[in-house]
């Protein structure tokens, strides 16, 4: 299924020059930050691999959600979510969230290549972002919930990353931001950015290629972000 970017003017106004400038700035910022050996409040060793261990992955996801709820001054998510581990398949998203069922699906490949800190990013983006957002929308406006609003959905999840991936998580936040910029460059046919910025290689390249082929234009929603009133993450002044 191919969904076109809803505001092509934003895309054209930016262009690959802006994206390359962003990539360069992010790469420079990343090089100045070291990971701590351990992040105590989340109980993780950020750079250790998850080693394909779904139980370990789920523990990190659930610990991060509890930690994030406190940061966001939320008592609960208001709705359960569950983890489903799927087979490796490059024709599907490596990680995806299904709003109706509250299922977070993670491919086995992700469990093999992700570090512990990447699972924290997944929890922030998919659960504290998408799941909390969709639950709030679903409860107040069913029509809005069922409408296509890819821009504010991804914008909200990116806003949560911005707000919560700070301090000891700052480097991870920037690495994933750089990944999104590299994918947006790939989406507009600029294929040489990838090799320049290895710190942004948060997913295997073949998944990036497959994603931009299947969902043309969608990669831009992670770079030019918009949010709506239902987003739980509105702590910082700008998205």
Distance CA 199, CA 41 (A): 25
Q: What are phi and psi of 45, to 5 degrees?
A: -105, 105
Beta bridge partners of 106: 85, 95
- Min separation Cβ 52 and Zn ion, Å: 23
- Min separation Cβ 130 and Zn ion, Å: 6
Closer to Zn ion by CB, 20 or 225: give it.
225
Give the 3-state secondary structure of residue 31: helix
Closer to Zn ion by CB, 97 or 197: give it.
97
- Min separation Cβ 157 and Zn ion, Å: 4
**Residue nearest Zn ion (C-beta atom):** 157
Closer to Zn ion by CB, 154 or 187: give it.
154
- Min separation Cβ 125 and Zn ion, Å: 6
- The answer to whether the beta carbons of residues 19 and 190 sit under 8 Å apart is yes
- The answer to whether the beta carbons of residues 26 and 179 sit under 8 Å apart is no
Binding to Zn ion by CB under 5 A, coded x per residue (else -) over 149-188, reads -----x--x-------------------------------
Closer to Zn ion by CB, 134 or 154: give it.
154
Closer to Zn ion by CB, 20 or 106: give it.
106
Binding to Zn ion by CB under 5 A, coded x per residue (else -) over 125-154, reads -----------------------------x
- Min separation Cβ 23 and Zn ion, Å: 20
**94 Cβ neighbours under 8 A, 6+ residues apart:** 106, 107, 109, 110, 203, 204, 207
- Min separation Cβ 221 and Zn ion, Å: 8
Query: Tokens 């250790």 sit at which residue?
Result: 48
Size of the site for Zn ion (CB under 5 A): 2
Provide the Cα torsion 165, 167, 171, 174; round to 10°.
40
Query: Exposure string (b/e) for 83-110, b if CB count within 10 Å is 16 or more?
Result: beebeeeeebbbbebebeebebbbbebb
Closer to Zn ion by CB, 2 or 34: give it.
2
| Chain residues in the site for Zn ion (CB under 5 A) | 154, 157
């Amino acid at each position: 299924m191919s969904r076109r970017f809803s505001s092509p003017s934003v895309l054209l106004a930016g262009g690959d020059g802006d994206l390359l400038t962003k990539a360069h700035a992010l790469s420079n910022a990343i090089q100045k930050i070291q990971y701590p050996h351990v992040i105590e409040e989340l109980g993780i060793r950020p750079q250790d691999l998850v080693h394909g261990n779904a139980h370990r992955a789920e523990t990190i996801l659930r610990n991060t959600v509890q930690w994030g709820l406190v940061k966001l001054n939320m008592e609960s998510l208001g709705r359960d979510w569950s983890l489903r581990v799927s087979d490796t398949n490059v024709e599907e998203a490596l990680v995806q969230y299904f709003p109706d069922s509250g299922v977070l699906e993670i491919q086995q490949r992700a469990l093999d290549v992700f570090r512990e800190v990447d699972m924290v990013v997944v929890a922030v983006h998919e659960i504290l972002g998408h799941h909390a957002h969709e639950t709030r929308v679903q409860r107040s406006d069913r029509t809005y919930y069922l409408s296509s609003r890819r821009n504010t959905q991804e914008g909200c999840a990116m806003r949560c990353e911005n707000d919560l991936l700070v301090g000891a998580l700052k480097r991870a936040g920037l690495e994933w931001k750089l990944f999104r910029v590299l994918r947006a460059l790939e989406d507009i046919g600029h294929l040489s950015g990838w090799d320049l910025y290895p710190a942004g290689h948060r997913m295997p390249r073949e998944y990036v290629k497959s994603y931009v082929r299947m969902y043309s234009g969608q990669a831009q929603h992670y770079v030019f972000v918009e949010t709506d009133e239902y987003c739980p993450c509105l702590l910082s002044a700008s998205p």
